Each structure stands twice: as C-alpha cells, then as structure tokens.
Amino acid sequence: MLRQTLAFLVPMVAVTALTARDAAACGGCFVPPDANTQVTGHRMVISVSPTETTLWDQIEYSGAPESFAWVLPIKGVVDVGISSDLLFNTLAFLTDPQIIPPYLDCPYSCGDEYGTGVAASSSGAGGASGGGVEVLAEEVVGPYETIQLGADDPAALQTWLASRGYNLPAEVAPIIDDYVAEGFNFLALKLVPGQGIDAMKPVRVTTPGASPVLPLRMVAAGTGAITPITLWLIGEGRYQPSNFGQFSIGEDQLVWNWDTSESNYAELKEAGFTQSGGASWLIESALPQSPWAVGNVIQQVVDFQPEVSGYGDPDGTGAAEEAAADLEELYGAIDRGSMWITRMHAELPRAALGTDLFVEASMDQSPVDHVYYVTKTSGTTPTCPPDPCAGSGDDDWPWGSSGGPGSGWGSGSENGGGCAMGSRPDVSALFGLSLVAMMALARRRRTR
C-alpha cells in the first residue's frame, strides 16, 4: 500500500495525503472470498451538534478497492453525501503530534536576533420491498449506488445483500443479527458499474439528533488482527470515549535521544495501548479551533485549483458546491465560537471491535496540545555546528535577518526536528506554506 507524507520545512506543516488507491469510504467492508484485499486502517470524523450527527469514514487498505462493498448500520433514514481526502488532510495538518527537540546552547555571535540555540536535527516521524426487506431510499451519490434498507428478519436481510453482491463473511452474520435486533436500518453502497477506482471518495452520513457513536462492530468486517483508527470529534468542547479507556502523553514524559535523533513518543504510545490490552484511546489533541482554520484551507484549494481538491468532477466542476456542503455538515448547528477539535487514536485488536464506541463530552475541558517541547535528553549531546554568523552580515545568513522558514522550527512530525532557531513558533505565519504544500501534493496525485 502506498502512503506518502510531505514534511514541508517545518514540523507542523506536514500534510499527509493518500493516493487514490489508498482511500475510500467504508463502514463494514465486504469483499469476495477470493479477493486479496484487507482494510489496514481508518480515518474517521464525527461532527456532533444539537440537531444532527455526521460521520465521515476513509479507509486505508491493501488490494483492489473495486472489490469493496460498504455497509453501515444507521438509525432511521439518513442523508448521504460525498467528501474528499482534503478534509482529512486538513484536520491532520491541524492536529498531528509534533515533537520539538531540545535546543543546543550554542554561543553564536548572532545573539538574540537569531535566537540563542539551535535545535537538534532528526529523522521523520422509501420504496419497494421484497423478501422481508424494505427499501427505504435509493439514489446515486457521486460515483456510488446507495440504498437504505430496513428489515425485521436478519436472515432475509443477509440473503438480500448476498443476492446483490455484498459478500458477508460468516463472522459478520451475528453482528448483522444484533444490529437488526437493536432496531437499526442499514446503508449499503457500491461503486456505480463502470466507475474506476480513481473515482472513489470518502462518504459522509448525517443522522438527525446528537448520537455520537462509532459502529466498531461493523468496522471489524474486512480488517486484520489490529486496526489503527484515527478519529476527529468536532463539537462544542472536548470529547472522550465513554465505554473505552483513554490516556494521554505528557510533555514531561518525553525524552530526546541524541544518539538516534528521536524521542520516546512511539514507545509511550505503544505502552499505553499494551497496558489496556488495546482497549483504550490516546487523546492526541483537544483544542478550541476556529472554523476558519479548516474551511479556509479547503476553500483556497477549491478556489485556485478545484481539479486537485478531490471535490466535484475530475476537472473540478462542482467542487465549490460539494466543498460547501461538506463544510456545512462539518459545522452543523455547532456554536462556531465554541468549536473544538478532539483527536483520538487507537490500535484496536479484533476483540476490542466487539463493542461500538460511544463518545461523550469530557468532564475535563482543559486543552491537550499536540506540540511537545522536549527538555529531557539521553545519549551523547552533539557539539555545536560552526557559528553561522561569525564574520558575516545578514546577507550571508541563509534566511536573511528574519530567520526565514527555519526560525523556531524543525521538520517532520511525532519525532520532528531540524535546524531551528528562536522561540516557540507561530502557526499562522506558516499557514500559507501548508496550503502550497497541500496543493502541490494534490497535483502529484492527479498526475499519477
């Protein structure tokens, strides 16, 4: 499976993008028994407002995506729409964990104008019915045929799905039975015949009322032994799992290893999952966020290069309308002055997928920052690089008197670093660079 990450000059300006073969919408993914296809991870978004809840789902997989059929348990009749990888990439840009290594105390002659230290470099981090099944709604949405079904008899539902090419594994049958017994309907989705895999896009599903539930039991279909899931919660305040464990990583727990140019963030994350047997979520970020921070990136790409935005037709026709509809559902009826984005990550074994995830407003509404400034170290402290300012004027300094793109920053994420000078960074000063990087990488995807 191909996955590419662009680390663009600074640690927080890291734009993750998936090639067209990597991403699609998926709840429970059913594939033919002879298909060498497997879900390897999910990225999901839930927007919770007083009047509605919207779920976005994007998968990472290996194999042939045209083999997928998508089934999601729903309540009542839902609204189905098309999204884009750009939404997920923007949320990742805003919330990716960033590790800023310690500063070397180097006696540079530049003085405070360029900062008093240099950071260590690092490596990256309603209708017909039949056979006991009622067709509630049927429509083509983007490249997908969608159908919403209701049934009182799970056996009839499974027969109906199988007759239309939804190959349900034997282990999924009891899950279908449970959802039917609990009063759920189902949304089934497949590519329109003749559509190529490049047409696949994430799908969003909007349900009336505030019901923030992630249907992990159905997500288990098509997965391997471990399923990584990154989930963003958009709502008025910080959210948390209510029926799973949770943990976070404190800045004071991090240690920078000078010998390997890495922190122990990955080890701390793995230890947290191991301690709970995989039945916990890491709260990676929880911060108040302006809707502009999400909407402006998407709007800029749609305005200037709609053909690479992932919205609309391949030539960008209809991109503005699809993006506007996507953002409208993202914000919902949320008080936009009180909007937060909570990011959670889990590495769930199959046993943990036996229970749906319920999320709730956290009693602890303190922010969880995703930028970590490491002060503890291990290994051999490196020597200072040569003084870049000795005997030189501003014109000889690589970035001029302002410090340029390296000022206060390293590169990469999670174990980021790079040659950096000065104090803690200002995200807004580099926001434009992220947009350029996102558009450039999207152009590369379209070319491929």
**pLDDT at position 411:** 35
Strands 280-288 and 245-247: parallel
- Angle ∠(389,392,397) on CA atoms, nearest 5: 65
Sign of CA dihedral 398, 404, 410, 414: negative
**pLDDT at position 303:** 95
* Residue 19 burial (C-beta neighbours within 10 Å; 0-12, 13-18, 19+): middle
- Angle ∠(109,385,379) on CA atoms, nearest 5: 125
* Residue 124 burial (C-beta neighbours within 10 Å; 0-12, 13-18, 19+): middle
412 assigned to some structural domain:
yes
Tokens representing residue 175 in the block: 């899950």
390 assigned to some structural domain:
yes
Number of domains comprising the chain: 1
* Residue 413 burial (C-beta neighbours within 10 Å; 0-12, 13-18, 19+): buried
Residue 311 CB neighbours (<10 A): 29
CA dist 93 and 301 (Å) reads 14
**pLDDT at position 110:** 61
58 assigned to some structural domain:
yes
Beta-bridged to residue 55, according to DSSP, are: 46, 205
Calculate the alpha carbon distances from 407 to 125, 192, 369, 398, 422 in Å.
20, 50, 21, 11, 6
Phi, psi of 241 (to 5 degrees): -70, 140
DSSP 60-72: EEES-GGG-EEEE
pTM across the whole model: 0.77
CA dist 129 and 151 (Å) reads 10
445 assigned to some structural domain:
no
Calculate the alpha carbon distances from 349 to 43, 216, 223, 276, 376 in Å.
16, 11, 10, 11, 33
Tokens representing residue 265 in the block: 């963030």
Tell me the residue range of the domain where 192 lies: 26-125+128-439
Q: Cα 353 to chain center, whole Å?
A: 19
Calculate the alpha carbon distances from 166 to 28, 29, 171, 199, 217 in Å.
10, 9, 14, 20, 17
CA dist 203 and 213 (Å) reads 17
CA dist 285 and 414 (Å) reads 13
6 assigned to some structural domain:
no
348 assigned to some structural domain:
yes
**pLDDT at position 192:** 81
CA dist 413 and 391 (Å) reads 35
Tokens representing residue 413 in the block: 């994420």
Phi, psi of 89 (to 5 degrees): -65, -35
430 assigned to some structural domain:
yes
Tokens representing residue 387 in the block: 């003084």
Lookup result for tokens 């209708």:
127
Where the chain has pLDDT below 50, the residues are 1-26, 31-32, 35, 112-118, 121-128, 392-412, 416-448
150 assigned to some structural domain:
yes
Length of the chain measured in residues: 448
